[in-house]
A and B are shown apart, each in its own frame.
Chain A
């Protein structure tokens, strides 16, 4: 088992707990009269996630190969169910949750993993598929677009994009023809244009990240509040618990914008720390993917790893104002029980792959 990967995930998650406490305590006290409200839930999920990760790391990954279709079907059903009012509940404008009390489960998290498992199996089952558009790529893209479409109905563009790009990345390492990517890129641009036409607010989001002050109280609001955290923090930060922006200025700072608070309290040092942990995680994942000899486990390890890293990059780039706001969380660090659970479970799969081949 890859101990460095394991430790990196533990360090990230525990650092996450500390930062969730710092960034959420004010909100928690205001909403629940308990400044530990969020960190208690996250801590509980971390404990559960920890054992889930250990448990899953002991399940041979061939299990997923065998049951990939069932897993995919199960998550498909969940994605349909969550759209039905009364079953799925709306949080932050998206009908993307199964709410049980204050616990929530996002089926799209499970959909990402199951789709990666499905794609890995499909591509590894025949060498020919990757070379043939109609036999190989078309069915996969069909399934992916189906899932993407369901997620966009919630709507949750960020998760949809991560899911989509992760599958594309697997296709790339599997050796798909470059013409395919050119065509795909073209289609992607058309898709983006269609999405913007359907919902013009997306265009505003794109322009507002270039100059957030243009619409400081609307689309630029979040990024401005994020910059007001990062900037005044300075190179060394204001120190743990000393963030000012968490005092109701930055909305829900423990979720999407937790990195702002990290940069505010720990400066560029904190940013480097977080980035380094993700790069170590990434690197260890790459090592695992390279060392494993089966093609299925290579695809699976890389796919799992890629979607975590890609999500992290998207979140961080939003927070520092490099790309428009997409609404994705920072894996292991942002508050969110089901997200942490799924991330740790995914790492469990990676750990199992490393166990079998090192």
Chain B
């Protein structure tokens, strides 16, 4: 073989072996350019360790921004076992500070993991314990901030708010339903570590936690506080089986307040039984409404023009016979001759039997359906009941007659309130809601809820007539104790006998009161029910209305409802004080003022003969004999 041939073959091999070098360079280029993203993210997962920073849970606020569900910051213990140098010593010290056994602590300290949460002993540490641990200054022992849910008003609105578990996860109520919004995005301190878990000296990445979104409710804390306070009073006074209250804005369906008893403190929900925790009575409870249901019957009758409540008259003999069943009026001997307006004022059962008969079962039950009974209102809360309405084919004359005065149908409080709202707001049946909007932590609104109209049930003319009728009930009828001087308030009481297994219980009633304020332009519809109150007269007008009146006063103040003109004057009873309107005497001389103020006691301030100021001012109503202060100069 020639030497030249050898040299040629050597050169050929040189050229062949250049190919793998080129491949290698291209491969490096490919890995570092085209696979960079994938490999870099995989590698970062491998290198980085996250020290999680818990995001604040979103708050739940009332309509005016008062915080109902808040966060308290607490401290928790976190270990990074690989960074702990003297494990024996760390275990011993931590065990003694936390008050747990050496072997329990050892499990945490020696665990083969990158980050160990000492759960549950190391969670929610008190300040003193956290400080002690901090002072030790051990490597690999960290204290991180954690937020704990806190309900500053304790049992206020508890059923609606719900509660959270130890990891701040929503377990019930709005906390559960809006958990996705309320839960924030946890942040982290991200650092690179070597394969042994030691922190590398490179800059840490701080990923800020993003707080959860706030849920803004339609609830008004002042109204809510008022009904909660009265719930407590009711429990003290009457020891009822249950009690509930509900306040709604009839123009929108917004829930302004809702409460029931028994309730619970969501800070310590573990202490209550599941029935107490889960039953949000204003939307869950279902029972025969009693006389408050008469509002629906009368509105239907007016809408169908079967009666003119101001002119048409009805004679109540105290009882009425329907197909052999004798239906009695609550007043022995009956109410005698009365207009249908007075039938409502007197809550006269035979009168409503007549209205039911005038309407017939098709029309009455179609209105019952259209007012939303027998179906869920669709409120944005879990656990709503839907009640039971007779199917039409099972409605005989007796069922028609009793349903007309509120016996037979089983309904929920929220259904009644929404129906009455429709009766007084011009005829519009709205879907109730409790969440007004959702806003992020910078308070900018990300989602807003507004009123949802389900249907128009009655005409605005009928609605206007019903408002007057309901005002009469409070001024002259069974709702008198709820009358508030200067304000136009409509209402209707109810006393429903409770059924158990198809028979009515003796001396066991649900007493209720439905109110509308102000009745000329309703801002709030309010419903109160007390189940089986003890130590009281078995008539709602004596039990519920005085309590309702106190709540109504708070509603008026909370909603800044102005005084109205042209109210229906209240019928006086023997113990009612006579009210007089205070005349304006400013600018008059003292003698003339004195003449105008005969019904009042006069107190003077300063010297002189001319009145330059008076208190109270002209136009207010005061009881006979009240004091008027006049400033003279």
* Chain A residues within 8 Å of B, Cβ to Cβ: 26, 127, 130, 169, 172-175, 227-228, 230-235, 244-245, 247-249, 263, 267-268, 271-272, 275, 278-279, 282-283, 286, 289-290, 293, 295, 298, 302, 306, 309-310, 313, 316-317, 320-322
Closest to B37 in A: A231
Of the candidates A248, A275, A321, the one whose C-beta lies within 8 Å of that of B194 is A248
Are the C-beta atoms of B32 and A286 separated by less than 8 Å?
no
User: Contacting chain A: which of B9-17, B122-130, B390-398, B401-409?
Assistant: B9-17
Contact with A along B4-46 (1 / 0, CB 8 A): 0111011101100110110111011101110110111011101
B residues lining the A interface (CB < 8 Å) = 1, 3, 5-7, 9-11, 13-14, 17-18, 20-21, 23-25, 27-29, 31-33, 35-36, 38-40, 42-44, 46-47, 192-196, 200
Residue from A127, A231, A247 within 8 A of B36 (CB atoms): A231
B196 and A248 within 8 A (CB): yes
Give complex CA distance A309, B44 in Å. 35
Check B13 against A321 for contact (C-beta < 8 Å). no
Q: Are B23 and A232 in contact (CB under 8 A)?
A: no
A221 CB to closest chain B CB (Å) equals 12
Residues of chain B with a CB closer than 8 A to A302's CB: 10, 13
Contact yes or no, A290 B21, CB < 8 A: no
B29 cross-chain contacts in A, Cβ below 8 A:
235, 268
**In the assembled complex, which residues on chain B have CB atoms less than 8 Å from the CB atom of A313?**
17, 20-21, 24
**Complex CA–CA separation, A92 to B242 (angstroms):** 79
CB pair A249–B7 under 8 Å, yes or no, is no
Interface of A is mostly: helix
| A-B pairs with beta carbons under 8 Å apart, 29 shown | A173-B13, A174-B1, A174-B6, A175-B5, A175-B6, A227-B31, A227-B35, A228-B39, A230-B31, A231-B35, A231-B36, A231-B39, A244-B43, A244-B47, A248-B195, A248-B196, A263-B31, A267-B32, A268-B25, A268-B32, A271-B24, A271-B28, A275-B21, A278-B21, A279-B21, A289-B10, A298-B3, A313-B21, A316-B24
State in angstroms the CA–CA spacing of A127 and B33 once bound together: 52
Whether B20 lies near A317 (C-beta < 8 A) is yes
- Residues of chain B within 8 A of A290, CB atoms compared: 7, 10-11
Contact B32 A233 (CB under 8 A): yes
Q: Which residues of B contact A267 (CB under 8 A)?
A: 32
Closest 7 pairs between A and B when the two form their complex, measured CB to CB: A231-B39, A247-B194, A248-B195, A228-B43, A175-B1, A271-B28, A173-B9
A295 touches B36 (CB 8 A): no
Q: Report B-chain residues with C-beta under 8 Å of the C-beta of A247.
A: 193-195, 200
Closest to B28 in A: A271
B11 engages A230 (CB within 8 Å): no
Determine the distance from Cα of A232 to Cα of B33 in the docked complex, in whole angstroms: 9
Q: How far is the CA of A247 from the CA of B31 in the complex (A)?
A: 21
- When A283-B14, A316-B24 are in contact, do A244 and B6 touch as well, CB less than 8 Å? no
Nearest residue (CB) in B for A248 is B195
Contact between B14 and A282, CB atoms less than 8 A apart: yes
Query: For residue A267, which residue of chain B has the nearest CB?
Result: B32
Among B10, B14, B39, B194, the residue within 8 A (CB) of A26 is B194
| Extra contacts besides A228-B42, A309-B17 (7): CB < 8 Å | A26-B194, A230-B39, A234-B32, A263-B28, A267-B32, A289-B10, A313-B17
Which residues of the partner chain B approach A233 to less than 8 Å between Cβ atoms? 32
Q: Are B10 and A271 in contact (CB under 8 A)?
A: no
* Choice from A295, A306, A317, A322 contacting B6 with Cβ under 8 Å: A295
> In the complex, what's the smallest C-beta–C-beta distance from A138 to chain B, in angstroms?
18
Which chain B residues border A272 with CB–CB below 8 Å? Answer: 25
> A184 to chain B: closest CB distance in Å?
16
Q: Which residues of B contact A232 (CB under 8 A)?
A: 36, 39-40, 43-44
Which residues of chain B are within 8 angstroms of A282 by Cβ–Cβ distance?
A: 14, 17
A350 CB to nearest chain B CB (Å): 13
A244 touches B27 (CB 8 A): no
**Contacts A317-B20, A320-B31: A231 and B43 contacting too (C-beta < 8 A)?**
yes
> Is there contact, CB below 8 Å, between B31 and A231?
yes
Distance of A293 Cα from B7 Cα, bound (Å): 10
- A174 and B5 CA atoms in complex are apart in Å by 8
Which residue on A lies nearest to B41, using beta carbons? A232
- Contact between chains at B40 and A275 (CB < 8 Å): no
